[in-house]
Amino acid sequence: MNKSAIKNYAVWARNELIARVSQKAYEYGVAEKETPEYDSESVNGKLLSNTEKKQLNELISQVNKHGFNHVMEEVAYIWFNRFGTTSRKRTHKIDKF
């Protein structure tokens, strides 16, 4: 087993997920130095659903509490683990955990 290849992939995947999660946050107006107002009805001309408002409010809260970079890394970590779990389930043909 080539552990170097696995390590390189994990580093690349982490960086890629952080970049994509950050890009999605930017689409909702959340950035390192600025965030939209709490309970915003729309962001960048896009009208938000009630679910999106709740999610955006939670994101704003977490960014204000922990900082943008920390939250983006945490979300990327969660998604990396979810993708890994899905991959293992497919490999071992497991329907449920």
Give the pLDDT of residue 18.
94
Tell me the one-letter amino acid at 81: N
Residue 5 scores a pLDDT above 90: no
* Residue 96 confidence class, pLDDT cut points 50, 70, 90: low
Angle of helix 68-91 relative to helix 50-66, nearest 10 degrees?
120
Give the pLDDT of residue 75.
92
Give the pLDDT of residue 81.
83
* Residue 89 confidence class, pLDDT cut points 50, 70, 90: low
Determine the average pLDDT of the residues in 49-76: 95
Structure tokens at 32: 């390192």
